[in-house]
Structure 1
Amino acid sequence: MIMNNALNALAAVPPARILLIKLRHHGDMLLTTPVINALHQAWPQAEIDVLLYEETRDMLAAHPFIHRIYGIDRKWRKLGTRQHLRKEWQLLKTLRDQKYSLVINLADQWRSAIVTRFTGAPSRIGFDFNKRRGWFWQYCHTQLASVSGHQTLHTVEQNLSIVAPLNIAPVRDVTMSYQPDDWQSVQRKLQSNGVEGSYIVVQPTSRWFFKCWDESKMAETITALQKDGHTLVLTSGPDKYEKAMIEKIRALCPSERVYSLAGELTLRQLAALIDHAKLFIGVDSVPMHMAAALKTPCVALFGPSKLVFWSPWDVVGEVIWAGNYGELPDPDKIDTNTKERFLDAIPVDVVVAAARKQLL
């Protein structure tokens, strides 16, 4: 672990400006919020900025403790080499001009290390990743936090371990935020679809179809809850294959009190919808993590991702793991284009019983 005197200086003079870097997918961004919350709790006057991939901005855009978000747009590559480099250089200069006191690099890319070093911040913390052992990674950071034990820790706990060198108290809450107008937009959509009163949100899709449950089994589950008198709202991403999956499920259900907002909601609107639901049923996907963060009662169908790393954090409800009903492949060896549905081993009656238990 590399040490420097800058961290001692932070103890004497609280940081005025902090940058957190994470360049990953939507769910990963949501699970960085405990680090943001911990930094705010330790230094409530500090301005906390975040650098992320532009397409994930909505996950953090309404977070109350974030001062500013900077985005790397992966569409820059389509502008040609000169324009792409110009955009990158402009971003680097902008970040350097902020004169950060502290940079937290949660990412493992060389790009994130270069940005970290270029900020010129006196304190720059990254992880001591095994694959990044070498002089350049060390040169880009003033302190490297240990990753020992990460293989047995949830992603939230892995992220939080980066604040250990700062000697600040960890905050274990994941925060999914949205604005009042997000909920107002959702209410208008619900009303226009004829949805009245309480409802259950069902998210059957993931961008990886091997994480999905059989459409007929999901339809059986929806039909059982429908017969119990519940109203169900189905959601999905905007991808045409996800929307087609929703339509296939709907076609297998009676039409009464089953509605679709598939592909119609922004991430923050989806958060508002989930937050006001009496139950969330879904597969391993971003909305599952959102439901857990929002403390909406949840039935999560999980597998074959790494349960230790990616199960819904501090969930109110039940995680039904496919590995308890059938053999699952090594998560690191899955062909993401496979047509196999590894969740299909989960029985319908188990899911229906779990849902009814949460609805009591």
Structure 2
Amino acid sequence: MTSSLALKPNKVLFIATRQIGDVLVTTPLITKARELWPDAEFHFLGYRGKLDMLKGNPDITQTIETSDRPGFREYLRLFRRLFQRYDLAIVTQPSDRAYLYSLIAARKRVGVLGGHPQGLTELDKAKKSKSDKQNTWKKAICLHTVDIDYFAQHVITEKLRLLEAFYQDARDLFSKPISVSAPVGEAVTPSIACQLQSPYVVVHPGPLTAYKRWPLAYWQTLLTWITQQGCQIVLSASPAKQDLQLNNDILSLLDEETRKHVVNTAGLLTIPQAGALIRGAIAYVGVDTSITHLAAACNTPTVALFGPTPPTNFGPWPNGFVGNQPYQLRARSQTVGNVTILQGPGECVPCRKAGCEDRASSNSECLDHLEPSQVIEALQKTIAA
């Protein structure tokens, strides 16, 4: 593809109004935009409490936080703060609200457009038709748009393609090593630091939603094996009630000797502190969640347990990869750079549904059938490398 729009913006606004992982995967886009516009000032708009992944990012001059459900007064303050302050807005999520913010903030914009898997069911086709209609006005206000492809296009590629209109040859976007920028580390508290013993493995069992969980008994088997190799385990979790409970449930299954070698940091770490902790680990094991992406960005050997999510769309990016797609859609085990992705068996894998019952509280049989022996084998190779 060959195209180019002459644009030298003085101020650029990046918009990512979703979760912390969605913020992290914009960092290669920010880095590439800095190469295009070395003198521009970059600001970043996102939800309150979700921007820690940008801590210390040298390319971001200012972050702007907003509620995920702003009231009228907050909307008014944000309107006054944003109104036509930017030459370009880069919309990295397909939500209507993100596009409205871009319309208020900037003279020109590029953005991601939502979509749905094609050719699966009549319901999918109906959803896609509705999505296409919703996208009409977004296309009309943009210089350039990029369609989401949940199965074939990696999310990093999707974000980088927002800049392809500004290149003579869009293939140049992927001709050099591409890396995700982790936040600047922050020292963990002394009460945790004094418990750490090298070598240690960071383990993060809790996903945002239940259908991405791995069975409790499997964690018990894995953690027991890790301590038998002479490694300490550092259990990580967000402050969310269900994640704290999950870690406690796992600990309750461990025998006394194994528990002696486990440090539970659940709910005690900021994102920058988690990054610092992960950088010191010999390996990381986690489910499909934002901290697993952080581990990969920290260049720590990372073992990621994937169920319904297509790794071709949201697998943790292996830093330094050259090209636009690191992964296969389906493979029981695949290693690229510092990242190993494991998937359970089944022709339906990955389905991109919310578990087998397509709801947040569902289980996922593909994860139920992802045996501990497969994870142990992958971790053993990772530690030995």
Q: TM-score range by the shorter chain?
A: 0.7 to 0.9
Partner residue in 1 for 2:180: 174
Structural mapping, 1:153-302, within 5 Å: 153-167=153-167, 169-170=172-173, 172-179=178-185, 182=186, 184-186=187-189, 188-192=190-194, 194-253=195-254, 254-302=258-306
Alignment partner of 1:65 is 2:89: no
Q: In the aligned structure 1, how far is the partner of 2:365 from the partner of 2:249?
A: 16
Change (3 A) 1:119 1:195: closer
Change (3 A) 1:29 1:346: same
Does the 8 Å CA contact 2:188/2:269 hold for their aligned counterparts? no
Alignment partner of 1:39 is 2:33: yes
Q: In the aligned structure 1, how far is the partner of 2:156 from the partner of 2:148?
A: 15
Count the aligned residue pairs.
336
Amino acid at match of 1:119: A
* CA deviation string 1:17-71 (max 9, x = no partner): 1111121222111111111111112222211111111131112233221111111
Query: What's the secondary structure of 2:86's corresponding residue?
Result: coil
Does the 8 Å CA contact 1:291/1:298 hold for their aligned counterparts? yes
Partner residue in 2 for 1:351: 375
* CA deviation string 1:309-336 (max 9, x = no partner): 11111251311111x3685473236211
Q: In the aligned structure 1, how far is the partner of 2:268 from the partner of 2:47?
A: 22
Does the 8 Å CA contact 1:63/1:177 hold for their aligned counterparts? yes
Q: In the aligned structure 2, how far is the partner of 1:55 from the partner of 1:345?
A: 35
Change (3 A) 1:217 1:125: same
Task: Give RMSD over aligned pairs.
Answer: 2.4
Q: In the aligned structure 1, how far is the partner of 2:376 from the partner of 2:28?
A: 32
Partner residue in 1 for 2:147: 147
Query: What's the secondary structure of 2:147's corresponding residue?
Result: coil
> Cα offset for 1:196?
2.3
Flag as ranges the 4+ runs of structure 1 deviating above 6 A.
Answer: none
Amino acid at match of 1:145: T
Query: What's the secondary structure of 1:107's corresponding residue?
Result: coil
Query: What's the secondary structure of 1:185's corresponding residue?
Result: coil
Query: What's the secondary structure of 1:56's corresponding residue?
Result: coil
Does the 8 Å CA contact 1:150/1:158 hold for their aligned counterparts? no
1:126 corresponds to which of 111, 134, 138 = 111
* CA deviation string 1:63-122 (max 9, x = no partner): 22111111121363xxxxxxx21211211221126x32221122212222222222242x
Q: In the aligned structure 2, how far is the partner of 1:120 from the partner of 1:146?
A: 18
Q: In the aligned structure 2, how far is the partner of 1:118 from the partner of 1:124?
A: 11
Q: Higher mean Cα deviation, 248-257 or 274-283?
A: 248-257
Alignment partner of 1:320 is 2:310: no
Structural mapping, 1:3-152, within 5 Å: 7-8=5-6, 10=7, 14-74=8-68, 76=70, 84-96=71-83, 99-121=85-107, 123-127=108-112, 131=131, 133=133, 136-141=137-142, 143-147=143-147, 151-152=151-152
Amino acid at match of 2:178: R
1:332 corresponds to which of 343, 353, 369 = 353
Q: In the aligned structure 2, how far is the partner of 1:325 from the partner of 1:110?
A: 36
Amino acid at match of 2:188: S
Question: Percent identity over the alignment?
Answer: 25
Q: In the aligned structure 2, how far is the partner of 1:43 from the partner of 1:355?
A: 41
* CA deviation string 1:199-226 (max 9, x = no partner): 1100011121221111111111111110
> Cα offset for 1:341?
5.8
Change (3 A) 1:341 1:242: farther
Change (3 A) 1:129 1:349: closer
> Cα offset for 1:150?
6.7
Query: What's the secondary structure of 1:264's corresponding residue?
Result: coil
**Consecutive unaligned residues in structure 2, runs of 5 or more:** 116-130, 319-336
- Scaled by the length of structure 2, what TM-score is found? 0.80
Does the 8 Å CA contact 1:298/1:317 hold for their aligned counterparts? yes
Q: Higher mean Cα deviation, 313-322 or 327-336?
A: 327-336
> Cα offset for 1:339?
4.5
Q: Higher mean Cα deviation, 106-115 or 201-210?
A: 106-115
Query: What's the secondary structure of 2:294's corresponding residue?
Result: helix
Amino acid at match of 2:340: E
Q: In the aligned structure 1, how far is the partner of 2:212 from the partner of 2:374?
A: 18
Query: What's the secondary structure of 1:274's corresponding residue?
Result: helix
**Consecutive unaligned residues in structure 1, runs of 5 or more:** 77-83
> Cα offset for 1:297?
0.3
Structural mapping, 1:297-308, within 5 Å: 297-308=301-312
